[in-house]
Chains A and B, each alone.
Chain A
Amino acid sequence: MKSRLQLAVGLLAGALIAPGATLAHHGAAAYADTVTVFKDATVTKFMWANPHTLIMFDVKDERGAVAHWVAETGNPSAVALLGWNRNSLQPGDVITVYLYPAKSGSALGRLNKIVLADGKTLRDTQQRGDNPATQ
């Protein structure tokens, strides 16, 4: 019932997806439903902690101005099951970040996945995330 209603609302609004029904704690309402991609993102800090692991990174726009972004992921217990560990990222790593940006316009987002320099992909737990079977 709950999911069907959400889906109905989502379709009505022309959205591609309804917020997942099992997102933990933090509502999907804070974040956009579309993924934004940041190429050549430079990791500045990786916080492996509860409640959500945080990735802080810098990206440059076309004029060379640096923006500081933060992506939150599932908590360590959850993302560890997806292949992450506390040493997955180091400051200075250059990665590609896929995230759902905050609707507030702040430079924050919920992670979808990252792709490391060696091509390895680490996905987040977000239920509306992409399907590994299709990758």
Chain B
Amino acid sequence: MRNRLKGCVIGLAAGALLAGSPARAQTSPAPKRAVSETLYDKLANNGTGGAAPRRDLTGFWAGLVEPKLNDVPPMTQWGQEQFRLNKSVWNFPVSESNDPSNSCDPLGFPRSMLYQTRGIAFAQMPGRVLELFLYNKLWREIWTDGRALPKNVGGSSADAPDPAWYGYSVGHWEGDYTFVVDTVGSDERSWLDNYGHPHSIDMRVQERYTRVDHNNLQVTISIDDPKTYTKPFVITQSNYRWIPQQDFEEQICAPSEQSEYLKVMGDSAAHSAPAK
């Protein structure tokens, strides 16, 4: 339900105010049925591809642009205060939204696994697994050499590590097909999701990647952030499909292109329809 419901109600009410513009030839109701055209969908009938290889996520995977997210639990007072500061594009015009992604700031983690997930990839190296993201061609390191997660990230002591947009991650295998990744230290400037839900520097995230078969990779992402949310929760359970050609197209949030976009679409006053 989130804020979309609010947006929906407001939107529908506002929709009644729409008057015909001189330039509009005709108006017709939007058909109900949805288009579903993503690489992920196109690969729906590719089958299992056989058994999953043992302890191996290596390869390029297609996902949805935005996996289905569960509702967040009630926020703490601190969480609510942070949430009020975040103006998502679901509730505000682009020109008034302060979504970090509007200026091509990093999505950060875990938002990078909750939005713009049409392509992820894994590369396994001695002592670490790299997770690569189609969006903005970036990666995160997941250490598998047995090191512990850093403590007190962002703390006041001299040796406290700095917050990191993509946090600090370690991973291990549970059995031969589930890779478990624990992450701490995500920079508080990143949003949790597109709705502007916040997180604190104390958030712990666990991802469980289960390679069901050769062609399907399921991931469950859990959030534990008692400073922000009143209880831990699973934010998404999503699936990725093996990309046969094992390649990504390029998709970059280029600040100059984004700026042009905002200039055209964000400044709606400059594009008012002519007077009747």
Chain A interfacial positions (CB closer than 8 Å to B): 1-2, 5-6, 9-10, 13, 15-22, 24-30, 32-39, 47, 49-52, 54, 56, 59-63, 65, 67-70, 72, 75-78, 80-82, 100-108, 112, 123-134
Contacts and interface: CB of A to CB of B under 8 A. Distances in A.
A81 B39 contact: yes
B74 interface: no
B147 interface: no
B260 A128 contact: no
Nearest to A23: B66
B268 A104 contact: yes
Nearest to A6: B8
Contacts of A76: 251
Nearest to B253: A50
Given A29-B7, A72-B265, A106-B269, A131 B251 contact: no
Given A78-B38, A108-B268, A126-B35, A35 B21 contact: no
Given A30-B93, A77-B118, 9 more contacts: A5-B1, A33-B15, A37-B26, A47-B264, A50-B251, A112-B30, A127-B35, A129-B34, A129-B35
Contacts of B23: 38, 59-61, 67, 69, 107
A72 to B, nearest CB: 6
Contact of A17 (B32, B68, B90, B251): B32
B256 to A, nearest CB: 9
Contacts of B89: 25-27, 30
Contacts of A21: 4, 68
Given A80-B249, A81-B37, A108-B265, A67 B273 contact: yes
